[in-house]
């Protein structure tokens, strides 16, 4: 859902890229390349990349690349509603500039030209994502850390290393380590915890997820796991349940095991670098999760002995997906143990549970059916293993 600037209390239809009728694909491509190139030179570029669209009315350097963006910035707020867990009042999360440009490249003129799958666009998004990762690995990128902290009001006292001068580049700060709160669930071994600081949606079945949230025409378990439909692994996830953890750029970008488990097989699947913004995920016929680059780790759930699939999905301007705790097959992990991290950019994790293994918490189910994402912290409960499965 998106919000119109002149009516901040009422959601309206998503603001489509044809809201920029003056800008061509070439203009937007140059604009995306420009903000990536500027990030190597300007210490405040992180603020520009992630700025609410309306604040860009003052950013004159971007106007020359994208005709009409100033008008759009003045008239609209572009983004999504999210609800903080425990609250019934949604807040509005603005769409970062780079995600807006990625959306425009993918969807503009879709009725006239079949742009989805266009190799030139796909190559551009991949090229800029790889370039951004290299820029933020450069030691000079530490200049961007203060503006990033200010843009997102990041509480550095929650970090394991609160001294920002200790980080050698921006990416090191981006995948910073922080304290997590999994101890609250230690006494109840049936609790399944959040894998990340995230915006969360949960669905009891893939069909329900497709009906409400994920509109990709190729979204199914075989495609998500890159396995044949008749494979034993796919068969074990028939009528599976899904938890979708979307990490926004401001979030702590390390991810953790939601269950007590034993590490199993791993698979890397190359793919695209589309934005994982909900407006893309909710777009009918557009495949994000099954088209994007992803890493899949299989976890044996110790209480039930069943296989759980943990799918880490890259996105626009994500430098890489790095596994830390999930490297060695046979490693035993507890809930909350670190599995890995994403380098720069917003990202998503989809955890697939076998049928009727998990009963998601009622508040998360209710919000997901509205549908709206719930802001959840890593380590907090998202559901419980059904007792009849454990017994």
Catalytic annotation, residues: 197, 256, 347
- For 271, phi then psi, to 5°, come to -175, -155
Question: How would you class 141 by CB atoms within 10 Å of its CB: exposed for 0-12, middle for 13-18, buried for 19 or more?
Answer: buried
CB atoms within 10 A of CB 237: 23
Would you give the end-to-end CA distance of the chain in angstroms?
A: 42
Tokens 């070439």 identify what position? 26
Tokens 């009528």 identify what position? 239
DSSP output for 151-190:
HHT--GGGBSS--GGG-SSHHHHHT--B----GGGTT-TT
Q: State how beta strands 261-269 and 294-301 pair.
A: antiparallel
Residues 6+ apart with CB under 8 A from 379: 180, 181, 182, 183, 184, 185, 193, 194, 256, 336
Our measurement of the distance from residue 257's CA atom to the centroid of its chain's CA atoms, rounded to an integer in Å, reads: 17
Calpha distance 192→379 (Å, rounded):
9
Containing H/E element for 359? strand 358-360
Calpha distance 288→313 (Å, rounded):
9
Tokens 């750029």 identify what position? 249
Calpha distance 204→195 (Å, rounded):
17
Calpha distance 48→78 (Å, rounded):
15
Strand order in the sheet with 11-12: 11-12, 2-4, 76-77
Calpha distance 349→128 (Å, rounded):
22
Task: Report which of 203, 195, 380 is spatially closest to residue 297, judged by C-alpha positions.
Answer: 195
Distances from the Cα of 116 to the Cα of 14, 43, 102, 124, 291, angstroms: 18, 34, 12, 13, 11
């Amino acid at each position: 859902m998106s919000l119109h600037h002149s009516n901040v209390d009422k959601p309206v239809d998503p603001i489509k890229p044809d809201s920029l009728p003056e800008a061509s694909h070439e203009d937007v491509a140059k604009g995306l390349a420009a903000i990536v190139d500027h990030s190597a030179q300007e210490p405040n570029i992180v603020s520009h990349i992630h700025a609410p669209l309306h604040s860009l009315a003052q950013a004159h350097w971007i106007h020359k690349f994208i005709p009409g963006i100033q008008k759009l910035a003045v008239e609209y707020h572009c983004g999504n509603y999210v609800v903080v867990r425990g609250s019934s009042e949604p807040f509005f999360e603005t769409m970062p500039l780079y995600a807006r440009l990625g959306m425009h490249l993918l969807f503009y003129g879709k009725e006239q030209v079949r742009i989805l799958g266009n190799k030139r666009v796909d190559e551009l998004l991949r090229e800029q994502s790889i370039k951004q990762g290299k820029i933020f690995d450069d030691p000079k990128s530490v200049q961007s850390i203060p503006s990033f902290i200010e843009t997102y009001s990041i509480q550095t006292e929650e970090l394991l290393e609160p001294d920002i001068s200790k980080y050698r580049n921006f990416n090191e700060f981006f995948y910073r380590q922080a304290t997590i709160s999994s101890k609250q669930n230690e006494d109840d071994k049936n609790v399944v915890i959040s894998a990340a600081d995230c915006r969360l949606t949960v669905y009891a079945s893939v069909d329900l997820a497709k009906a409400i949230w994920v509109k990709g025409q190729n979204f199914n378990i075989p495609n998500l796991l890159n396995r044949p439909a008749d494979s034993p692994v796919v068969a074990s996830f028939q009528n599976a349940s899904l938890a979708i953890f979307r990490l926004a750029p401001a979030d702590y970008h390390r991810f953790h095991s939601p269950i007590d488990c034993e590490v199993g097989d791993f698979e890397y699947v190359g793919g695209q670098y589309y934005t994982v913004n909900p407006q893309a995920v909710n777009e009918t016929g557009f495949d994000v999760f099954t088209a994007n680059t992803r890493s899949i780790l299989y976890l044996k759930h110790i209480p039930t002995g069943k296989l759980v699939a943990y799918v880490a999905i890259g996105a626009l301007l994500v430098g890489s997906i790095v596994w830390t705790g999930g490297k060695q097959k046979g490693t035993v992990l507890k809930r909350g143990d670190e599995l890995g991290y994403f380098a720069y950019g917003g990202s998503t994790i989809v955890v697939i549970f076998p049928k009727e293994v998990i009963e998601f918490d009622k508040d998360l189910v209710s919000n997901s059916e509205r549908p709206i994402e719930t802001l959840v912290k890593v380590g907090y409960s998202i559901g419980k293993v059904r007792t009849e499965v454990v017994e």
